[in-house]
Structure 1
């Protein structure tokens, strides 16, 4: 199994000026698995803890209990080396250093994967831009000089630079208009087929999940309340899942 999330919980400490600090539970006993080549959607409302779960999967934060395994290795195991995953964030304006041009942004990720001769660096950046449908002529531009769709394609090319097996997509199209959303999702689907990728797609939009994913996890009150294949979405039983379905019918 490519990704196994096993009974994971996470809380954060909150301290107020006139009271003792306390722990606030964000993720509560979450378990699921994701196979190689699979696209799973995590559907939940804003502020429900979805991004925290993404950070846990990527090893940016550690769970309080439970474990997360990538190809059988724990994300908390510092000796396991480079993890075969990348992440694409919702807000490209904050996930990219504004002082770096497109070439520098992608080259930074390429260099994380190991030594690359500088003579080859520009060619590899060009190839990654071409892979996501961007012209190498954009290489010397900065993020604020690109459209939203172009900027998110740069983020996708940066994610591809480390040759991942799994890409975590944290609300990757929510800041884009609908036609651009479709183009980005179609690009991701093509990349999935071409590169044998797997996706963990986080969103609050049921229609996007049905368009893009094979199965969906309904996330409410800090945990997963139902899982189903998107082809069987009309058969959901949990009240929260039914309410989301009814809202778009």
Structure 2
């Protein structure tokens, strides 16, 4: 199945500091592409993979689960660690949960973590119905393009496959138990007016991680997909400043290799 135009993965070979970006559930690299390109223009080595089952049609996602999505970002992180002296992990929504698990599992190999509207739980009565409902109803209404900015759209599915949603719910519970293992410097940016992930998820993450270097920023002008919204420039600038503080060699040519 061909990838939707604009949803392709993105990679850039830059200097010795690398960044892995993880997109969200039913979304695609398109939601993070401007962020990835901003970092690449500043000399960083960047990897923005397409998660399995995403970026084509929802039917392809119905047969994937969290193990597939996590395996993809774990593989990309290992490739970056081979090329770069320091690596950061960034994530939006479910990509935030993927990033947190990478940080918990890889420890000091991950230099820092940046999260935008990270998801931690499937909320509401629907969450409790998922184990059964997924066998009765294949999909529910989509969650893509929660964006305040006129004319800005996210490439994502208009339906949520419930088998995949059930797997994501299990993944969130797993990651929640691993949050105390996250010790890296953390920058968390979240929107008070998010119609997909409530602010409670960010509060829960901040209360459970073991990181001591923590910065929280409110994105007052944006909805869920803040990387394509009014606060996008602020996200890009704050994250680059975060990297620069922790890895002063960011953007300089160094040990990064590959083609």
Q: Please report the TM-score for the alignment, with normalisation by the length of structure 2.
A: 0.30
Q: Please report the TM-score for the alignment, with normalisation by the length of structure 1.
A: 0.31
Query: Which structure has greater strand proportion?
Result: 1
Structure (1 or 2) with the larger CA radius of gyration? 1
